[in-house]
Amino acid sequence: MQKYMSATAIALCLASPALAEGKLNLYVWSESIAPELIETFSREYDVEVSVDGYTSNEDLLTKLQAGASGYDIAVPSQHFLRIMIDEGLVENYGANKLEAYNNIDERWRNQWWDETQEYSIPLAYGTAGFVVNTEEYDGPTDSLKYFLEPDGDLAGRIAMLSYPDEIIGTAQLYLGVPFCSEDPDEMKKVLDLLMAQKEAVAVYSSDNIESRLISGEVATHFWWDGETVRAQSEGAPLTYAMPKEGLVGWLDSMVIPKGAPNRENAIKFIEFISTPENATVEMNHYAHSSPMTVVEEDKKYTKDVAPALYPEVPVEMSRTCSPKAQDLVTRVWTQLLQ
């Protein structure tokens, strides 16, 4: 998953450094963690918490590969988590021995990205697709055709992300090309599709998506379900498309980077945010679905008010690709943006 908000660095000195038992440095998706949970944790555990934000898995991976990040918790998506485990960038903190493990919805336990659930506890999941401003476009949205092969109504009024990850996956869903294809001919079809769409694309950008959409600068944008739900809850005239070809799925999990300076506080925070009550607060703030057991009666985004979080079309989770397949993805994206 990649987010639209600009990176931030927010220091929350919510406990007196003179009294604090320790520190906790979070490196997470920008604005993803509920501020009230950070404040409560800091107060109850007497820990000084700092929060730093990123906007793409690539940024996180690069930081961890550089070493000595100084962070205690990071939140990669599933396909990047697999890379981080394989490269030895994250701690085995015995996640499956924590109380938090028992609160994970069974369908999200022990998945291929962490088979024994020793390295991660999930935080949120969702999908990526296209959203339309209904005051600017009132045409159909039940197929990716309207986004990837638009007619005159959307010509010049489409915005894409600036990263290939879920864009390539969406094109593959539309074409019936498997994720992580190593076939150059199949990936040539993906390139041809996106090159043809490019004539109708106004901008490739992962920043300021909400303002670009709501202002009417573009009529449709590639975005995420939760961000759309949050904007809708504030009155934005948006619709999250449910194309029959499906949506690209993601799941973000909490990991402890290798050499984290405050490992024990990281585990305390993971346990804290994973209780049913706090997982509910987090879901109500972030507006993405929770992979944890939540307090149903306190859940803000139900199916009735946030149907984008409850897709009834196929969802295909992004995969960790082989070097050969990843090289083809990079080539497609590089040629597209030339």
Number of domains making up the chain? 2
Mark the binding-site residues for spermidine, compressed into ranges.
31
**How confident is the model over 99-107, as a mean pLDDT?**
97
Residue 13: pLDDT over 70: no
Residue 127: what pLDDT?
Answer: 98
Whether residues 174 and 321 share a domain: the answer is yes
Residue stretches of the annotated binding site: 31
Which pLDDT does position 25 carry in this prediction? 96
* CATH number for the domain harbouring residue 84: 3.40.190.10
**269 pLDDT higher than 50:** yes
- Which tens digits make up the pLDDT trace of 280-326? 999 999 999 999 999 999 999 999 999 999 999 999 999 999 999 99
**Quick one: average pLDDT of 117-129?**
98
**What DSSP state is assigned to residue 307?**
G
Same-domain check for residues 165 and 53: no
Q: Model confidence over 225-234: pLDDT tens digits? A: 999 999 999 9
Nearest to 128 by CA among 190, 216, 237, 206: 206
Same domain, 155 and 269: no
Residue 20 clears pLDDT 60, i.e. is over it: no
Task: Say if residue 111 is in the same domain as residue 136.
Answer: no
- 5, part of any domain: no
Neighbours of 113 (CB within 10 A): 25
Which residue range(s) make up the domain with 200?
A: 126-249+316-337
Within a domain: 141: yes
Assess whether pLDDT exceeds 80 at residue 57: yes
Residue 68: pLDDT band by 50, 70, 90 thresholds?
low
Q: What is the pTM of this model?
A: 0.90
Residues 59 and 38 reside in one and the same domain: yes
Residue 146 pLDDT greater than 70, yes or no: yes
> Which tokens hold the place of 101?
């493990």
Helices and strands: H and E segment counts in the chain: 12, 11
* Better pLDDT: 54 or 244: 244
The answer to the question of residue 230 being in a domain is yes
pLDDT category of residue 11 using cuts at 50, 70 and 90: very low
> 240 and 179 in one domain?
yes
Per-residue model confidence (pLDDT) at position 101: 98
Residue 37 CB contacts under 8 Å (≥ 6 apart), including other chains: 272, 273, 278, 281, 282, 285
Distance CA 197, CA 162 (A): 15
Question: Average pLDDT, stretch 70-79?
Answer: 96
Q: What pLDDT band is residue 203 in, cutting at 50, 70 and 90? A: very high
Q: Round the average pLDDT of the chain to a whole number and report it.
A: 92
Q: Please tell me whether residue 260 adopts helix, strand or coil conformation.
A: coil
- Are 133 and 224 found together in one domain? yes
pLDDT, tens digit, for every residue of 81-100?
Answer: 999 999 999 999 999 999 99
d(CA 214, CA 135): 9
Same domain, 205 and 290: no
What integer is the mean pLDDT of 126-155?
94
Could you give the percent of the chain with pLDDT greater than 90?
87
- Measure CA of the first residue to CA of the last residue in the chain; give whole Å: 24
